[in-house]
Structures are given as structure tokens and as C-alpha cells.
Structure 1
Amino acid sequence: MQVSEAIESRRSVKAFDPDHRLSEAEQNRLIELAMKSPTAFNLQHWRFVVVRDPERRQQIRELAWDQAQVTDASMLVILCGRRDVWRHDAERVWRDAPPDVREMMAGAIDAYYRDRPEVERDEVMRSCGIAGQTLMLAAREMGLDSCPMDGFDFEAVGRLINLPEDHLISFMVAIGRKAKDVWSRPGQLERDEVMRVDGF
């Protein structure tokens, strides 16, 4: 499948086949592809919580307005991110760069994030958003469907998955095989409404 086909055919599916299964290898492959997503300063903020336990899925469903895709999808991924990754992993993610580049990046990273909690949060959200789209397009290429989800109690789900204090939840993605066709796109804005050239 061409990337453009995956983009054109990707839809947010609400009804999944509950009997469809993904192997551990298939799930790992999807996460590995999502990990190829770009992040600011190569910090790789994302942390992917793959929820496999049926009981935990049911608990999350109860915290997500009883949305069936939480339990019926073959795979449920909670996209989280570590806010302060720049403090801990900057040296590690630049270890293979030339020494002068490593030194330059260390200074730039520190200057960009230090004492800027809003930037930490924004970067988690951006990084998880890009990774989530990569995950959904990779799933589509595998003939699977997906649904990005933010309709749930973030704090309660965070407690349920023991989310560390220095992490945030961005959103969830349900992945599997659709159980029924979705309706046609309900309404798309025109390109001229959303595209501006050289400013507003």
C-alpha cells in the first residue's frame, strides 16, 4: 500500500472485530515503526503502554464512556510521554554523534527546556501526536484499522497504569479489524479554507 493510499483510506473506526488477534510480533512491529517518528532534539519523549490484560482493558473502557473499541480492538496503545526526558537521556540519544555535535546539542537542549515546563508539555504532545499518526498509518498498511481516542478520564487512567509523576498521557489508539464499514466522511473543509500562502 502506498503512503497516500493509507492516508486516504484511514478512518476512525468505532466498531472492531473482538475475535481478531494480533500476534506479539505484529504488535512489536507497529511500536517499532512508531518509534521511527521524529522528535525534537531526537529525545524520543514517547512511552507506549500496550494494554493486553483484558481486565485492565475493561477498567479503561469504564473510564472511557464505555466505548467498545477499548475492549474490542486487537491492540490498545496509550501514548504517554516523559516531560523531563531532556534531563536524563540527552547524552544517550546523541552518543553516536561526532563529539562537537554532542556538545552543541547538550547546550541547545538545556537552553530550550530548562525552567520551561510548558515547553516540556508541548513537546510531549507534539511527539506523541506524530508517533500516533505513524502508528495509525503503519496499521493501515498492514490492512488494519484504528481509532485515536481522547474521550476518557486521563487522571483515572493514569492511576490505573501507574503513570509516573514526570509523564503525561497524550491520547490512546485502538487498532484492529473493523467489524463494519464506516459512513462516508461527514464533512470536509475546502483546501482554500485551511491553506494560507505566506501568512494569514
Structure 2
Amino acid sequence: MHTPDINIIKTEILSDNWYTLNKVTYTITKKDGTTETQSREAYDRGNGAVILLYNKVSGTVILTRQFRLPTFINGNSTGMLIEACAGLLDDDNPEECIKRETEEETGYKISKVEKVFEAYMSPGSVTEILHFFTAEYSPEMKTADGGGLEEEGENIEVLELPFIDALAMVDSGEIMDAKTIMLLQYLRIKNIL
């Protein structure tokens, strides 16, 4: 297996509004030993965490539904997307971040989470590593309505769905979010629900 030598020559900031878009020029050593100069753009939005809450007794999962502009621009006629609860790490570690995001978005206060894996979600253009978690929930953990933070412009609907219905929604195309599909399939493969 060939591991190329990489030398970054220059990094230019193209946009620094919501997140940072960089243009990076670098040299790369190819398999044949020659060196080539390339330029690529990379979007740096920070790293994130995602969680799928599940209840073994009721056979249900907690998902969220909210407007996502990029999906609207790319053909999603309503722009609404059903997703597992997620958020950016900011200055927190992944576990603390996902506990905070779970309470803000879903209204469930959880204390125990299980880290299942990490993944790059769009490595051709985005730097983000996403930390994936699962956690059991029960009705008594519901401490608030959820819905996200108004100051962050969040308007999140909380959905409690039978696990089999959520899987059927993947098959029908109602659930099209990659991180959510990955976590639903994780529960299925591990026979958790």
C-alpha cells in the first residue's frame, strides 16, 4: 500500500462566515515516485457528535425533524430532514457535547452513552469527524420539550417512532440522512432492537 508524502505549500481562506472554507495548495508524491502540485478546497466546520436514543421496552427510537437549507437547494422540496440528534463539539469532548445536544434538541436528560464509532462524513470536501453514540432512554428521562435553542435559530420537532417504522422510512426514502441511516443500521446489525 502506497502512502504518499504530502507537503502543504499554501493555505488561503476563501470564506470565514459561518464556518471556514480554505483553499489548500500542496505537493503529493504519487505511486510512481513523481511529485505533483494540487489545489483543493476544504470546508472546516469543526467536529461533531450524533446519537440515536432507543427504548428496548417500547421498541422505539427518538429522531428529530428540521429544515436543512442545503437539502432544499439540492432538490428536497420541503427542506425538512429526519435525523438523529447531533451537534458540533465546540469546546466540549464528544460525550459531554452529545449529552448537552440531546437535552437541548430532544428534551431527554441522559447520563450514560455508548460510543460506537467515528467516521468522516464527506472526506472529499469537509474536515469533520463525527463521533457516533447510542443510548437507552425511558419516559422519565424526559425533562423538557426539546426543540433546540432559539438563539441558534433551531426549530426542531422531536419524533418518537417504532424502530421498524424508522427502518421502513429508510427504505421508502423518508429518512435520507447518512448519520441516521448508519445508526439505525448499527442497532439492526447488533440486534439491539
TM range, smaller chain: under 0.3
Structure having the higher helix fraction is: 1
Which protein, 1 or 2, shows the higher relative CO under an 8 Å CA cutoff with sep ≥ 6?
1
TM-score (norm 1): 0.24
TM-score (norm 2): 0.24
Structure having the higher strand fraction is: 2
